[in-house]
Amino acid sequence: MDSETSGGTAEIIRFPKEILDFSWKVAISTPEESYRLGFSVCERFNLSNPQNMMKRLYVKPGRLSLGTVAVVCLVGLMAGRSTAEDAKKKLVVGFSQVGAESQWRTANTESIKSEAAKRGIDLRFSDAQQKEENQIKAIRSFIAQGVDVIAFSPVVETGFEPVLQEAKKAGIPVVLSDRAVKVSDPSLYVSFIGSDFIEEGRRAANEVAKLTGGKAKIAELVGTVGSAPAIDRKKGFEEVLTKYPDMKIIMSQSGDFTRAKGKEVMEAFLKAPNAKDINVLFAHNDDMALGAIQAMEEAGIKPGTDIKIVSIDGVHGAFEAMKDGKLNVTVECNPLLGPQLFDLIEKVANKQEVPKRVVTQEGVYEQAQAAAELPNRKY
Ligand code: GYE
């Protein structure tokens, strides 16, 4: 008999040997032993209030009848328990993550996994290693598994329309986490939770203006090409630059949101003929800024002083670098989306109304605040 579908008695059928063993041992034991045995079985099966139950059994006369009563009680309690469990079927969620490219991402993954565990959700987690094709494959596999809800953080904005149509056809709702997609049919996802990346870009540019008095020759380390945060952070940053005629981006290249590529691209920037003009680095995330700091130090340049650095995320490493005077500003982007994400997912699974867009709350941190703020940072 299939225990998932058969209701109360299925749980009993799963443990017949333990039940029989218990019944037999109780029948041949002294009352004290039977009490102890019964107590341990109650604990083994996680039955509620074993103490009371065994007290009740203990006062029954005769060892054989005690054993019988014990088994009957156990059967009843376990049947009740499994019925309750069946009624509360686990929610199955498929989550396709971008990868493990940055400290931000690692914190985001941890937040999602721990929140799912806390809520007893069956999370099918898949890491796309920053490749869109892996993500499409993962989503297809979630559809084939018949999960209740699909959530994902799209590596890039475009190219997901066909697979999202497949999910829609299968009747599986999709929630976007952290990054957006561009689709012609907005009904292909139910909700999108994440930061306002355009606003982050604006905040970064305002900080550059503050640091330089509005005179900046900027090298820009762009995030993953085609990703929502790279597109929108650039957009917000450039929007503010239009107000400052003496602030210009003089070099711009993608470092794919990783520390290693951030370092590599910064090395190339520093070899350019106009490298001496750079007085600001704007990095679309902290990891790339941290890689660039290393490149500057190796080239004998003082990061944070010779070249001012503004980046986005607010990870621990950025606060450490600010404390050491090597990074000037980090614009916060909160990765701890787990609790809010699963609030949304649970509502979606229960067919409740959810907002199409949920924006996370974030701040900006300057060097002078770093030491005091560091112990409070959760990622
Ligand atoms: O800024 C970066 C990560 O999508 C907001 O992705 C996220 C970005 C984050 O790799 O560090």
Q: What is the pLDDT of residues 84-125, one digit of tens each?
A: 555 568 999 999 999 999 999 999 999 999 999 999 999 999
Nearest CA residue ID for atom 8, ligand 1: 229
Order across the sheet with 216-222: list the strands: 247-254, 216-222, 280-283, 308-313, 329-332, 364-366
Regarding beta strands 329-332 and 357-359, do their DSSP bridges make them parallel or antiparallel, or are they unpaired? unpaired
Same fold, 92-194+336-359 and 197-333: yes
- Asked if 216 contacts 279 with a C-beta cutoff of 8 angstroms, the reply is yes
The class level of CATH for 92-194+336-359 reads alpha beta
What residue ranges line ligand 1, CB within 6 angstroms?
A: 101-102, 104-105, 178-179, 229, 257, 285, 287, 312-313, 333
Q: What is the pLDDT of residue 69?
A: 53
Q: What is the pLDDT of residue 51?
A: 47
Q: What is the pLDDT of residue 25?
A: 62
The atom number, within ligand 1, closest to the CA of 227 reads 4
120 CA distance to ligand 1 centroid (A)? 27
The one-character DSSP state at 326 is S
What would the two tokens of residue 265 be? 């691209």
For the chain, residues with pLDDT lower than 50 are 1-16, 42, 46-64
CATH code of the domain occupying 197-333: 3.40.50.2300
Q: At what angle do helices 63-87 and 16-28 cross, to 10 degrees?
A: 160
Distance CA 268, CA 266 (A): 5
Q: How many CB atoms lie within 10 A of CB 51?
A: 9
209 CA distance to ligand 1 centroid (A)? 24
The one-character DSSP state at 248 is E
- Asked if 332 contacts 374 with a C-beta cutoff of 8 angstroms, the reply is no
Q: How many angstroms separate the first and last alpha carbons of the chain? A: 47
Dihedral of the CA atoms 159, 162, 167, 170 (nearest 10)? Answer: -170
17 CA distance to ligand 1 centroid (A)? 52
The atom number, within ligand 1, closest to the CA of 178 reads 4
Percent helix / strand / coil, the chain, rounded to 5? 50, 15, 30
24 CA distance to ligand 1 centroid (A)? 61
The atom number, within ligand 1, closest to the CA of 101 reads 10
In the chain, domain spans: 17-88, 92-194+336-359, 197-333
115 CA distance to ligand 1 centroid (A)? 20
